[in-house]
Amino acid sequence: MSKADLKSMSLEELQIFMGEIGEAKFRAKQVFEWLHKKQVSSFDEMTNLSKSLREKLNETGKISFAHAVEKYVSKQDNTTKYLFALENDNIIESVLMRYSYGNAVCISTQVGCRMGCTFCASTLDGVERNLTAGEMLSQIYEIQKDTGERVSSVVLMGSGEPLDNYDNVLKFIRLANDKNGLNLGQRHITLSTCGLIEKMYLLADESLQITLAVSLHAPNDEIRNRIMPISKKNDYERLIEACKYYSDTTKRRITFEYAMISGVNDSIDCARELSERLRNMLCHINLIPVNDVKERNYKKSSSETVESFAEFLNSRGIETTVRRKLGSDINAACGQLRKGYLEKRQK
Ligand code: SF4
């Protein structure tokens, strides 16, 4: 019989589980706090539970984990990249970024990704499996343990498409937000999607206060189809409609991510078309100098091109910022470290 993953359970689910193994309901809150407040990694550390209950939990339950196998610290800005091993020896990566307002962590939601964005190394070998909510939380807990500092915001922008693992990601958001656990405000959680339209409508109706970031990367279908194959099924017009529905329903401003690729999507004509597409929308654009992925033939736009693009959009009333590139000396770009580690392991 497979063991129940207690770290991925809400308090209510844990109460039901306790009933099923013949224990009192109040034990659930104790276990929940051990897992999410004190963030222990074994039942034996739960010292206010009787020995017999701990034994029972060891027999029927498990605690999902993420063990750091490698860690790289940027000499430039202290950005830290972690490679974590999960159950079945699956490898994922997470990034800790230090800002003046606190520590932000970028976590993975799947092992690999099946979305096929052409600028991203995470998708080169497809997707292996979804992460559980407990595994997503474990990335944050381990980074907090390692630094001794609290994580104040989380971005779901590591490997994987969060909306392709919808139920577990929703569970994660609710668990991270739980006042008996990490107690992370929803406004401090950003979910980044490549634009799975149907799931965006579902998400809008969940009454959450998280920030939605949409990887747009182009001003029209023709260019977007080349960069992001997934857009062939999720066309531009319907995507923008879904974004409007999200911001109208949640009253939250959408962030559009736009990776600047030299000669592909960085002309002033592109900026003009983009500004027309997004006119009157509650949104913000983040321009990102694209990462070099050696398997692809992309070069990042020059800083002058990025600046003029941003200036044009700002002059049209669309708030646009250029994302500061962190950790460029440690391959902090999406999926690159994991890929290198797996190649090393294979040899
Ligand atoms: S950018 Fe995100 S959605 Fe696209 S392939 Fe990479 S991990 Fe997947």
Separation CA 138–CA 186 (nearest Å): 18
What is the C-alpha radius of gyration for the chain, rounded to an integer number of angstroms?
A: 21
Q: What pLDDT score does 295 carry?
A: 64
How does DSSP classify residue 205? T
Which tens digit of pLDDT belongs to each residue from 203-228? 999 999 999 999 999 999 999 999 99
- 111 and 53, same structural domain? no
Q: What is the mean pLDDT of the chain?
A: 94
- 217 and 289, same structural domain? yes
Is 161 annotated as catalytic?
no
Task: Evaluate: CB of 131 within 6 angstroms of ligand 1.
Answer: no
**CA distances from residue 312 to 75, 190, 219, 265, 284 in whole angstroms, order as listed:** 34, 26, 14, 14, 14
> Exactly one of 93, 142, 161, 257 is catalytic; which is it?
93
Separation CA 308–CA 317 (nearest Å): 14
For the chain, how many structural domains are there in total? 2
Q: What pLDDT score does 332 carry?
A: 53
Task: Evaluate: CB of 159 within 6 angstroms of ligand 1.
Answer: yes
CATH of the domain at 319: 3.20.20.70
Confidence of residue 8 (pLDDT cuts 50, 70, 90): very high
Amino acid at 42: S
Q: What pLDDT score does 293 carry?
A: 62
- 147 and 172, same structural domain? yes
| Secondary structure of residue 32 in the 3-state scheme | helix
- 169 and 151, same structural domain? yes
Is 194 annotated as catalytic?
no
Separation CA 41–CA 336 (nearest Å): 28
Task: Give mean pLDDT, residues 264-275.
Answer: 97
- 257 and 153, same structural domain? yes
- 264 and 139, same structural domain? yes
Ligand 1 pocket test, pick from 111, 159, 286 with the greatest ligand atom count within 8 Å of Cβ, gives 159
Q: What pLDDT score does 12 carry?
A: 97
Confidence of residue 331 (pLDDT cuts 50, 70, 90): low
Q: Which residues pair with 104 in a beta bridge?
A: 97, 153
Separation CA 211–CA 254 (nearest Å): 7
Task: Evaluate: CB of 161 within 6 angstroms of ligand 1.
Answer: yes
The helix (H) or strand (E) run that includes residue 313 is helix 303-315
Task: Give mean pLDDT, residues 283-290.
Answer: 92
Q: What pLDDT score does 294 carry?
A: 64
- 111 and 229, same structural domain? yes
Q: What pLDDT score does 296 carry?
A: 67
Confidence of residue 242 (pLDDT cuts 50, 70, 90): very high
Task: Evaluate: CB of 260 within 6 angstroms of ligand 1.
Answer: no
**CA distances from residue 246 to 207, 227, 314 in whole angstroms, order as listed:** 10, 24, 23
Q: What pLDDT score does 121 carry?
A: 85
In the predicted model, is pLDDT for residue 333 greater than 70?
A: no
Q: What pLDDT score does 179 carry?
A: 96
CB 42 within 8 A of CB 68: no
This prediction has a pTM of 0.95
- 117 and 47, same structural domain? no
Q: Which domain holds residue 14?
A: 4-62
- 81 and 127, same structural domain? yes
How does DSSP classify residue 208? -
34, 62, 90: which is the final residue of a domain? 62
CATH of the domain at 10: 1.10.150.530
The helix (H) or strand (E) run that includes residue 258 is strand 254-260
- 332 and 305, same structural domain? yes
Q: Which residues pair with 111 in a beta bridge?
A: 129
Task: Give mean pLDDT, residues 172-191.
Answer: 97
43, 62, 81: which is the final residue of a domain? 62
Pick the closest to residue 164 from 197, 209, 206 (CA basis).
Answer: 197
- 245 and 122, same structural domain? yes
- 266 and 216, same structural domain? yes
Provide the token pair at 66.
């993420």
Q: What pLDDT score does 346 carry?
A: 77
Which tens digit of pLDDT belongs to each residue from 270-285? 999 999 999 989 999 9
Q: What pLDDT score does 9 carry?
A: 98
20, 38, 62: which is the final residue of a domain? 62
CA of 229 to the centre of ligand 1 (A): 11
